[in-house]
Amino acid sequence: MCLFCDLEKNCIAENDLCYMIFDKFPVAPGHTLVIPKRHIETVFEMTPEEWSSAGDLIKTAKNEIEKIYHPLGYNIKMNCGKAAGQEIMHAHIHLIPKY
């Protein structure tokens, strides 16, 4: 079973095609993941509609992080494939606040 397919029930926000969770091993306070609901291996397989849905949730996450943590900036990161550091083979996007 895919970890991210199973974690959808623990989401902190969602829309029709994607959901959002806090990273279980954050590199900074507020580190968030945006994950397509459809099981695909990398973001290269996302449809235009999934990209749009992911973008909406990234904006939602940023607004919530700003209220709580007040970061100075953000990194948006996507690891695609094991050679790139992807550990869970379900597409996901990291939103990492920087302080």
What distance in Å separates the CA atoms of residue 11 and residue 88, rounded to the nearest whole number?
17
Q: Which of 31, 90, 92, 94 is catalytic?
A: 92
Residue of 50, 28, 42 lying closest to 87 (CA atoms): 42
What distance in Å separates the CA atoms of residue 84 and residue 87, rounded to the nearest whole number?
9
Concerning whether 92 is annotated as a catalytic residue, the answer is yes
Residue of 93, 34, 32, 92 lying closest to 68 (CA atoms): 32
Instruction: Please give the positions annotated as active site.
Output: 92
